[in-house]
Each structure stands twice: as structure tokens, then as C-alpha cells.
Chains A and B, each alone.
Chain A
């Protein structure tokens, strides 16, 4: 009797194992959920919506890829969800790595960016510092003069990535400042145009229209090379802060829950790479006035480590920033 039961157990286990491995071999055989941590209409949503049909096209069985918006808490809710999701390849997400790295440093969260299975980086966006187009400041060096006891920096909240970039930059330059916080880019830009704030930091993509209209003036461009259209605008290295050139720019990465099986990861990575390289996709992205900047899974993992490292380096500045009201 006991023997019979043992045989049955062994058989069932064997069948389960075989079943399990065929399931992996057959991946993907059901809809893949593509999680976005923001509302529809923003940059992350646009990238995910544009990518989903092309990932679908290049998956072995053209399985559906459905975008799911899960906005809230600066995309931390989605990141937490991703952290806890089953690593079976049916849940992937687009991440705002810089923003989440800052949140991870400042708050108690469930996600851990160093554990996520990174599949690709699809784009990145340079950070810029801008001042009023017709205001008194001609360059970043004007702020070193400290003509006011404290300069007013317009922000989208103290924990926002761009605020941290600004705080680190001013800390390195020895400039005293105070924040003027807002809920969104529009309001924070308007504060500079109105003259209520002296300077603001943001992504080049979101601010370029105001720069080209002359309402805002570019004074610092965070990259390893100067921008072709603004050859006179310095990069951090020109001001002796080479380590800030790229470390704090925002990156859009696609990741999966920690512990994703290697074979599934390869399938997903290949599909995403083919999607980004698809000429039709390039056309669609061009229409949206966006530029892809692809990195594979391995390079993305290194990138995330670098980002986390640089935030750790500036942890003191970040923590001082976030405890401002307690001083």
C-alpha cells in the first residue's frame, strides 16, 4: 500500500516536472501584462503603449502584450507590485530608475531596484538647468556670486529626481538656496517665467519647447558632450563636476520581477530588442518626437547599479534635503 502510494507520488512529481518544463519551453502562451506606474498620457505611458504591439510582433507566438496603468506614489506602487509579482515572464514593467532610486533612499519601500531582472533600456533623457529667458542670469556661474541670501529653486517636490540633481549641483558649487515646491512641471516652469523662482531643473525633453520659445534659457546640460544645438551651454565637466555628467539623468528601463528564469529572460530580451530595432517602431516614436536609446539586459543592470551607487554617494545631500523642514 505504502509502496503504491510512493509510486503514485513519484509519478505525479515526474508529470509535474515534465509539465513545468514544457510550460517554460512553450513560453509565452498567455497574455503578458506590461505595467506602467503612471497615468495614461505621460512619457512612460507613451513609451509602453508604443512598444507593446511591437514586442507582441516579435514574441515567438505573437502573444498579446497588454499595457496596464497602475499610477500612484511616483510609480512606487507599480514598482512594489512588480517586486511581488510571480517571475514567470507574464508581468513586465517600465521603470523610472532615477526617480525610484531616490524614493528607495528616502522612504521605506518594498521594491529593491538592485534585485529587479532588467531586460532593456529603451530611452533616456538628459537633465537640464534652466533660468528665465529674459532674467538677470546669463550662466550657471552667476549663481556663485550669491547675490541673494538664498536663491529660489522651483521644484516638483523635494524628493523628485530633478530636485536632487539641483541640490547636488548647488551643494558642489557652494550655492545657498531654498525650494519652491509644486505639484507638476507646468506650475514649476511658470514660477520661473513669472520670476518667482530663479532656476529650475528638469528633463530636456519636457523643457525643450520652453527653451525654443525663449521663455526659458538653458544654463547647464547634463551629458558627456555639449548639445549640438546649444554649443555654448556648458556640461557639468566644464564646471569641474564631471561626475555629474550622466549619473543623474533619467532612464526608462524595462524590467521583470526578481528571479526570472534565464530562458524566459532571453525570449523577452530578444523580443524587446527586435521591437526597438523595428523600422516601423522607429517611425512611430519619431512622430512622438522621442528618441530611443537601447541598452541590453546586461548593460541595463550595470546602469542601474551605477545609478544606485551615485545616489548612495550623494545620500547625505539627499537626506539633508529631505529633512529641511526639521532644521
Chain B
């Protein structure tokens, strides 16, 4: 834990001042519709020109780390994710807000984000000696099986309504294949529209399905989001105890985040969805998910921040960015003469340790500020529904526009708003659609990559791929077996005591 020795260097009054300012900025960018950590860093890079390398690291990482916190607040309160990585927070965060438990959800979210971030960074620190070997251990068949495993979640979240769940998932897969195909790079299902070349934007679909759809429901009622329920503002101890109680879920989600963060190309969005999916699959009460299970929020938020530790690993070990935000960070570091790559683990190890220490402190400053301000916004859930609805629609459409600055995204959000209203009305699963949309691309590209490099046998000869495949099969079969065992037990019990 070499970073502990660098903590002293971070606790300098001037660096801490930069840290607090930067965290505030990150939180605001996170709350702003459609903007996330990458944009926060891009906006700050010009400020680093005149700074020392240490101050630049603090400025960039603190803002990046804090943006996740801000994004989850809007996901919980008004069903609109600030960025794609916060999308899965809406699944249970918003239903909790509807039950008057927004305070609990926000507190739990802030708490797991900070702790998750800490776990991710500590694991990063411990993995430094083996970083390079570890990253090279994962290849395409493993990613493919990961996507397959992720898709099995759909079976669990749609239990009781499997047929409609599958239709929703197939619709999601269909949407995932719109755009540029990963083989030839040609257009596919684009109907001659340039906008569709890059595929359908996830943030736009989610804001449409969830926020616009919800606003419609709200506009039909005179009550507030959390109707007839006494809503408490401020920090909720319940939120903290929920995390402590679910420590195993928390740790598991952290490791999912770190693992997926480590692999360039899989992406943070997949990490949060996989953590959510695993939480549903391993829960004793999977039926509660999507209806306000605090476990859903804990899983997503802890994976989201723990993945940053994972993201930093290929960035530091190879100079290969784990995602677009890391690409921006690398650019920022290079301007100060630091070149991410193997030297960061040997010659510049002190800088690496300083970077980890700064990120850790940043997480806790973000938690403190997030709890202080985020929980004050809960009053939003007490405003009458038909007054809130137009605000949510406006916010959601701005979010869709803000993410990419494209009018097409606004149209997609509006169209999916209408689709969302009908899906909700007729009992189709919006979560299945989103999971399929997120994983469809990974499934397709990793399939082709596996076939090119390993051939079909690659799927079943690599230990990591095989393990993931076994887990996928198990998660599909186990509920059936469990029900059978339960049924037999019941029958036996009835046989003994007729």
C-alpha cells in the first residue's frame, strides 16, 4: 500500500483547496444533464497548463471522481441519469425515491461510491506488481462469455413475465445492431440517416424510456413523486447501515467493477449493468429489484467507482486508456512530461502512488460534499407530479442533447419516451431492453474477434471463458432446480401432514 506514504503530500493546504474546488466542479458537471467525468476533465485541462504536475493530477482526478456522485443524484431523484454510467442507478434508485426513501438511496449511493472507489484504488495499488500480466490474461472469448452471462440476467429480471421480457430484450438487441457493423465498418440499419452511423445513443434511450415515460405518468397525477409519504431530507443512517449489512454484495460489485474496468473496450457502462445483474441473480429476493431494492443502488454505485481503480491499471501499466476519460487523463499527464506506460510502475512509481492517494482523498471529499448538498435536493420528490412533469421532460431532453450535442439524440429520447409509456402500460420490461442494448455490441464484436483469433474452440478451452460460461448456465438452471427442490419439499411436507 505504497499510496499511504503519499497521503501526506496530498494534504497540503494548496492542493486541498484545488481538491475541494475541483470536487465541487465535478459534482456540478455530474448533476448537469448528459455531462460526465470525461467532459469535466476536458474542461479543466486548459487550467492545468500553469500548474505543477501534482496540482494537475489533483485537479483532474478529483473532478473526474466526483462526477459519478453528481450523476447518481439525478438518477435517483428524477429518473434521469447524468451520464451513461449512472443509467443503472435509475432502476432501483428512482423507485426508492417514489417510496420516500430518496435520502436513504442518495446516502447509500454516496457511501458506496466513496468506499467502492477506495476498494478499487487499494486493489489497484496491490495489483501494480502483477498489473501487466493480469491485463494480458484476458482475451476475446472471456469478453464474449461475460456478455452471455450478462444477458442471462434478463431471465431473472423478467421472471413471471418471461415472454414479454424476451420480446423487450430482442428489441434491445435489434437496437444494439443499428450503426456501423464491427466487421466491415459498413452501415447497417441506418436508413440513409448519418446520425445512425454511430448507433443509438444509450443515454438518449434511457432518458426517454425512464424519465420521459415517468414524466407522463406523473403528469396524470396530482401527487408528488413520493406521494403521501413523509419524506426526510438530510443524511439517512438507514442508507449507511444498508451498505454495511450488504457488505458481501458491496465487495462483489467492487470486484466486478475492477475486473471490467481493467479491460479496455468493455467499458464502465457494462460494469455497472453486470454488477446490477449479478446482484439480481444472487439475491434471495430477486423479485424486489426494479421496484426499489436498495441492493440495486449499492451494486451499481460501488461497481461504478471501483472500476476507476481498474481503469487506471492499463492506463498506468501500458499507457492504454481503459475508456475515453482515461484517454483525456493521459493527454493531460503528457503535457506535464509524465508519460503513462511501464515507467509509471518503475521509475515514476512515486507519481503513481501520489495519483492513487489523490484519487482516494478525492473520493472522500466528494462523499462529504455530495452528502451535504445532494441530500438537500430531496425536496424535488415532494413537488406535485403535474408540476414536476414538464421540468423532468425538459431536463431529460437537455440530458439527451448534452451528452453528444446532437439533435438526433433528442428525437430518440422523445420517441423512446412514447415507447416507454406503452412498455410500462403493457408490462414489457424496460430494464431487459437496456441490458440487451448495452451488451449487444460487446457480444457481437467479441464473437467475431474470438473466431478470428481462437476459432470456435476458444470459447471452451480458456479457463476464464469456461468459468464464466459455467456461471451463466448455473444462473439459468439454478432457479428451476431450486423451485423443484422447494416444490418437492412442500409435497413431502404435505405428504407427512395431509
B264 interfacial contact with A, CB 8 Å: yes
Nearest-neighbour CB distance to chain B for A148, whole angstroms, equals 12
B187 lies within 8 A of A213 (CB): no
User: Does A149 count as interface, using CB distance less than 8 angstroms?
Assistant: no
The answer to whether B186 and A288 touch across the interface, beta carbons within 8 angstroms, is no
CA distance A190 to B182 in the complex (A): 17
Give Cα distance in the complex from A191 to B405, angstroms.
32
B140: A residues at CB distance < 8 A? 196
| Contact (Cβ within 8 A) A186 B320 | yes
Task: Tell me whether chain A's interface is mostly helix, strand or loop, or mixed.
Answer: mixed
Judge whether B183 is part of the interface by a CB distance below 8 angstroms. Answer: yes
Map CB proximity to A onto B445-474 as digits: 1 under 8 Å, 0 otherwise: 100110011000000000000000000000
Q: Could you mark each residue 173-185 of chain A with 1 if its beta carbon is under 8 Å from any beta carbon of chain B, else 0? A: 0000011111110
Interface residues of B in 149-206 (CB under 8 A from A): 180, 182-187, 192, 194-195, 197-198
Establish whether residues B184 and A287, one from each chain, have CB atoms under 8 Å apart when the complex forms: no
| Stretch from B321-329, B392-400, B488-496 forming part of the interface with A | B321-329
A326 CB to nearest chain B CB (Å): 9
Residues of B within 8 A of A289 (CB): 334-335
Interface residue count on the B side (C-beta < 8 Å):
47
Establish whether residues B448 and A181, one from each chain, have CB atoms under 8 Å apart when the complex forms: yes
Binds B, one of A152-160, A246-254, A260-268: A152-160
CB <8 Å contact, A189 and B320: yes
Q: Are B42 and A325 in contact (CB under 8 A)?
A: no
Q: Tell me, in angstroms, the Cα distance from A309 to B340 when the chains sit together.
A: 39
Give the contacting residue for B194; candidates A69, A72, A178, A193; CB below 8 A. Answer: A72
| Least CB separation from B38: chain A residue | A41
Q: Is B341 at the interface (CB under 8 A from chain A)? A: yes
Whether A325 contacts B184 by the Cβ 8 Å rule is yes
The docked-state distance in angstroms from the alpha carbon of A41 to that of B452 is 31
* B198 adjacent to A186 (CB under 8 Å): no
State how many angstroms separate the Cβ of B133 from the closest Cβ of chain A: 11
| Residues 192 to 225 of chain B near chain A (Cβ within 8 Å) | 192, 194-195, 197-198
| CB–CB A158/B445 < 8 A | no
Within 8 A of B (CB), among A63-96: 69-74, 76-77, 80
Q: Are A70 and B183 in contact (CB under 8 A)?
A: no
Question: Which residues of B are in contact with A by a Cβ distance under 8 Å?
Answer: 38-39, 42, 49, 135-136, 139-140, 180, 182-187, 192, 194-195, 197-198, 264-265, 314, 318-322, 324, 327-328, 331, 334-335, 339-343, 404-406, 445, 448-449, 452-453
Q: Could you jot down 27 A-B contacts, CB within 8 Å?
A: A40-B328, A41-B38, A41-B328, A69-B405, A70-B405, A73-B197, A73-B198, A76-B194, A77-B194, A80-B194, A106-B185, A152-B453, A157-B180, A158-B183, A160-B185, A182-B445, A182-B449, A183-B182, A186-B265, A209-B341, A210-B318, A210-B319, A212-B341, A213-B318, A213-B342, A287-B49, A325-B184
Tell me the A residues contacting B by CB distance below 8 Å: 39-42, 46, 69-74, 76-77, 80, 106-108, 152, 157-160, 178-184, 186-187, 189-191, 193-194, 196-197, 209-210, 212-215, 287-289, 322-325
